[in-house]
């Protein structure tokens, strides 16, 4: 009986060792497939024309909206933010789980001091256990009105999304607002008077107002898509396409 117990104990220890070895190999293989993506964000004033008016807006790399970043689950993202604007700035990675990298999260005076004009800061974090489309944006005052972009997280290389039909292509849809004024001045005026901020002059899709606004892109909404947002409608979005919306969930289908 004692012999069988010894054999069982040996087999049990061997099984645990073998299982640990498999987990170690799987982890090593996952790390081997992971990549590190390097980007530089130059934050600066750029002439942007919307609604027939050109004004200097704070942008990233001269783009409005800013660049779309694409990574895979398990990849590491390194972004060097260089502040050439006249305002303090930080960048927040909205929805990203910062696992032991809280200093890369971006909220001003919460996880970091703001990057002052002429300064820079490098954000470095690893995407862990996430897939889908998130976004990044400035987290200082109202700079997020023009400093924002998409962050697309694809499945790990060699794997797929957790549903039967895989997407044939992906298009990021970014909803925003546009003021015919400096957004910083808008929020400062609200703070001075104690009233609500002035409403925006237009809502935007990927940085463009609807094509019924003056001096706007024609044929902006080329494809049918379903817009799902919990709560609230989009009454100021102007388009010559038919829009069907429900009041409860704001599910809008553009035709």
pLDDT in tens, 60-108: 999 999 999 999 999 999 999 999 999 999 999 999 999 999 999 999 9
Dmax of the chain from CA atoms?
Answer: 91
Global pTM?
0.75
What is the reported pLDDT for 246? 37
Residue 223 has pLDDT above 70, yes or no: no
pLDDT tens digits, one per residue of 226-254: 555 444 444 444 444 444 443 333 334 34
Domain spans in the chain, listed from the N-terminal domain onward = 34-160, 177-254
What is the reported pLDDT for 210? 78
Task: Specify the range with the lowest mean pLDDT, choosing from 154-163, 170-179, 243-252.
Answer: 243-252
How much of the chain exceeds pLDDT 70, in percent? 72
Residue 203 has pLDDT above 50, yes or no: yes
Q: Which helix (H) or strand (E) holds 205?
A: strand 202-205
Mean pLDDT of 191-202: 92
Q: Which two tokens stand for residue 109?
A: 């005076």
Q: How confident is the model at residue 33 (pLDDT cuts 50, 70, 90)?
A: confident
Mean pLDDT of 148-172: 86
Q: Which helix (H) or strand (E) holds 30?
A: helix 2-33
Residue 186's Cβ-side half-sphere holds a number of Cα atoms within 13 Å equal to 18
What is the reported pLDDT for 255? 35
Give the C-alpha separation, 237 to 203, whole Å.
6
Query: What average pLDDT does the structure give for the chain?
Result: 81
What is the reported pLDDT for 214? 84
Question: With respect to CATH, is domain 34-160 assigned 3.30.70.20?
Answer: no
Mean pLDDT of 151-161: 89
Angle at 81 (CA atoms; ends 37, 63), nearest 5 degrees: 85
Residue 194 has pLDDT above 70, yes or no: yes
Residue 114 has pLDDT above 60, yes or no: yes
């Amino acid at each position: 009986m004692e012999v069988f117990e010894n054999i069982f104990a040996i087999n049990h220890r061997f099984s645990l060792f073998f299982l640990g070895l498999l987990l170690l190999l799987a982890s090593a293989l996952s790390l081997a497939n992971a990549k590190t993506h390097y980007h530089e964000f130059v934050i600066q004033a750029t002439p942007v024309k919307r609604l027939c008016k050109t004004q200097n807006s704070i942008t990233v790399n001269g783009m409005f909206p800013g660049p779309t970043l694409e990574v895979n689950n398990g990849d590491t993202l390194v972004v060097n933010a260089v502040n050439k604007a006249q305002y303090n700035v930080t960048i927040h990675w909205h929805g990203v789980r910062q696992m032991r990298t809280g200093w890369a999260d971006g909220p001003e005076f919460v996880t970091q001091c703001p990057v002052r004009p002429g300064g820079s800061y490098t954000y470095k974090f690893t995407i862990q256990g996430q897939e889908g489309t998130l976004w990044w944006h400035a987290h200082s005052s109202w700079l997020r009105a023009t400093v924002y972009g998409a962050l697309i997280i694809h499945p790990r290389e060699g794997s797929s999304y957790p549903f039967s039909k895989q997407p044939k292509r992906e298009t990021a849809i970014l909803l925003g607002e546009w003021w015919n004024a400096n957004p910083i001045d808008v929020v400062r005026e609200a703070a001075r008077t104690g009233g609500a901020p002035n409403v925006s002059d237009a809502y935007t899709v990927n940085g463009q107002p609807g094509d019924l606004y003056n001096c706007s892109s024609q044929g902006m909404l080329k494809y049918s898509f379903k817009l799902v947002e919990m709560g609230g409608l989009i009454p100021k979005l102007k388009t010559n396409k038919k829009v069907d919306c429900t009041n409860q969930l704001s599910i809008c289908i553009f035709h």
